[in-house]
Copies of this chain bind each other. A is one copy, B any other.
Amino acid sequence: MEGRLLLRLSFLLLLVGGAMALLLLLMHSGTQEDQLLAAASSVIGNHTLRKQQKKSVLREPRRGRDMFFEQVDHQKEVPHHPLDPLTIQEFSKVKRILSNYNPDTSSSIHSLVLEEPEKGEVLAWNKGKNPLPTRKASVVTLVGGRSHQLSIDLSSGHVVQDKVSTTSGYPPMTIEDMTAATAIPLADAEFNRTIRSRGVELADLACLPLTGGWYGGPEEDGRRLVKVQCYSMEGTANFYMRPIEGLTVLVDLDTKKVVKISDVGRGIPVPKAGGTDYRYESQKKNQHHKAGGQRLLNPISMEQHKGPSFKVVEGHQVRWGSWDFHLKADPRAGVIISQASFRDPVSGEPRSVLYKGSVSELFVPYMDPSDAWYFKTYMDAGEYGFGLLAMPLDPLNDCPRNSYYMDGVFASSDGTPYVRANMICIFESYGGDIAWRHTECPITGMQIREVRPKVTLVVRMAASVANYDYIVDWEFQTDGLIRGKVGLSGILMIKGSSHESVPMSRGGGNEEEDLHGTLLSENVIGVIHDHFITFYLDMDVDGSNNSFVKVELVKQATEAGESPRKSYLKARRSVAKTEKDAQIKLGLYQPSEFHLVNPTKKTRVGNPVGYKVVPAATAASLLDHEDPPQMRGSFTNNQIWVTPYNKSEEWAGGLLVYQSHGDDTLAVWSERNREIENRDIVLWYTLGFHHIPCQEDFPIMPTVSASFDLKPVNFFEANPILGMPPNFEMDLPVCAAASSSAYGS
């Protein structure tokens, strides 16, 4: 029992931590650093492969990588670019410097990343000509309940700044926080009694450390809290479908004590395990039964017999078509795109578009006010770390053939570096779309049928925030467009219920409304919730100084006798002077374009050179602005914001989001109403989803996606892909079957 429980424990502890946790265990058994690295890598390398083979599922042996790309040796890595992330050697150096500076920080490191040089320095840096700017590390530690933001100079080896935070909130939980949190209830007699009274064996327990937000209660003051809820793993890999409903354990992360156990779910059965497993191994069994309904599809693959057209230079610099940009993994943002520039089709000169783009924060409020649910209003980047939750991608399925896989190198809570392999992939995409076309009538002197296929470059990561999976794509197009796309998949957060069928009276349906969601299966409710993903977009359109221009389409009535028409639409341009001019709520009947222009640059005929942000399907937060979760997530009060560039304003919910009161958010900064005309400005765009679950989301959700575009608007003199060639038969590959096949056509 002991051993079994321990194994389970180690599992629980790891639910959120992913690979980091393995390290943790190894560290406890006193392993050396490079062994750690090996181990960490192996988590997705041989380890995975072995596991899979045991299940007789063969995984792609990184074919793309082997064929066209070199594997990076992180042990030997050195920085080549001012924005390159910290290397293994640099992490180790930081660790040494810190332990000399203040031993208390040795296991309380909540964030450790490169401190990017001043923007001016980076822009001035000239590859080859200049040496790299001084390498610095930015560290957030928690000492004696106070958050410290340290700046460490790697050349001098000194801590050059130690700023104690003045705002509310704490840094993201560490793995120790989470592991301890999920373990603590098991030491509690009342908890164990309750679990058994629900008919669940402790050995089958899976518990999650759920962030509780902040509601202004006195018990929340001056201490870091987390709420633990548990599930039964008995009979399914998909334990999320088997909640022990209504049982919430409030835990103090620092005293490591149970503060309060709330058990309001007695009598609510744990939903059945049947039909919840989604793994191929378990599905294969009923393939034949299914065959009637599911005609299997023949294989289809994007093939590039000459290899991909993009290059990854010195680890992080991506070159494709007319695009150049810097790419790196970040523990909090996930993916960071930097210095994206587009080579002008006429001059051949690179022109800047985006200095830095990343996911800044997420906000995921659930719509159930009851005791076990009201607090579920997650801010995944600032509470858990969006990048830390990005698991290794699955070659051939997460990303197509010929993808390049980039690893993340992160620090665990004592500064020990580890590798998150295959965290990001880069690939070219062609799905049959058309870049541009025109056909004239087929006869006459000019027989014209000119069509160009559309090929794009995709940068992808997938973060698994416990149950949910977020697929984040940055798509670069040959015509200068950048698309930010978020796909939602994974598993719903489920509420246990005594209902086995939808309560009747569908007319009024009040009873049903009180479910706060949809009954997906017997005793299983998918609770209504929203997802908001706020993007940080430091646009540098043909230079750093830009202006935000709102181009409204307004209905114009014609004057008497002016025209047989009574009305038409007119474009009215207004330049935002200050931040409040750029607080934008979208409306179908108040259509506008939103341009970022360089007021000092014009096209040949005099249009200001610009890019526009083009929203697509999205959702707005409707919560009360005075509701504590919305105060913390107030960066979703508008869909678009523009702020003057400020190095410290990077995280829309604040640097310290955990239990924050909302006193350091984008909304607060923007209220300062600073001048933004002809300045270095930052665009913030929030992508939203309302999710009313349906049975198709059970037991795992088909991907739902939404996106926004950054699109050139008079940035070029003309269509930049005028010169691209069409496809010719002779250039396409000739393909044949490989050896044996797993399934027929």
Contact = CB atoms under 8 A, between A and B. Distances in A.
Number of copies of this chain that the complex holds: 2
Given A430-B301, A555-B623, A367 B296 contact: no
Contacts of A51: 447
Contact of A301 (B367, B397, B732, B745): B732
A438 B63 contact: no
Interface stretch (A9-17, A158-166, A356-364, A647-655): A9-17
B432 A432 contact: no
A614 to B, nearest CB: 8
Interface in A281-303: 283-284, 286-287, 290, 292-303
Interface string A699-710: 111110110000
A555 B729 CA distance: 57
Interface string A538-556: 0000000000000101010
Interface in A364-414: 365, 367-371, 374-375, 391-392, 394, 396-401
Most chain B CB neighbours (cut-off 10 Å) among A441, A602, A607, A692: A441
A102 interface: no
Contacts of A622: 553, 555, 567, 569, 589, 591
Given A237-B448, A299-B306, A401-B732, A605 B727 contact: no
Given A305-B736, A441-B14, A703-B433, A608 B718 contact: no
Given A442-B18, A605-B521, A615-B617, A471 B306 contact: no
A600 interface: no
A619 interface: yes
A721 B322 CA distance: 38
Nearest to A620: B588
Contacts of A618: 588
Q: Which among A47, A294, A391, A551 has the highest number of chain B CB atoms within 10 Å?
A: A294
A513 interface: yes
Contacts of A17: 441
B435 A432 contact: no
Interface residues of A, number: 233
Q: Which has the most chain B C-beta neighbours within 10 Å: A275, A303, A509, A616?
A: A303
Contacts of A300: 302-304, 428, 430, 455
Contacts of A502: 602, 605-607
Contacts of A278: 436, 438, 450, 719, 722
A629 interface: yes
A127 to B, nearest CB: 18
Contact of A471 (B434, B607, B630): B434
A555 to B, nearest CB: 5
A442 B43 contact: yes
Contacts of A261: none
B322 A294 contact: yes
A46 interface: no
A266 interface: no
A433 B398 CA distance: 8
Interface in A667-720: 690, 692, 694-703, 705-706, 712-720
A21 B440 CA distance: 13
Contacts of A119: none
A737 interface: yes
A218 interface: no
A433 B430 CA distance: 11
A320 B296 CA distance: 9
B716 A696 contact: yes
A325 to B, nearest CB: 14
Nearest to A345: B293
A719 B419 CA distance: 34
B501 A605 contact: yes
Contacts of A440: 15, 237, 464
A270 interface: no
A742 B738 contact: no
A442 B19 contact: yes
Contact of A430 (B302, B374, B726): B302
Interface in A436-486: 436-455, 458, 462, 464, 469, 471, 478-481
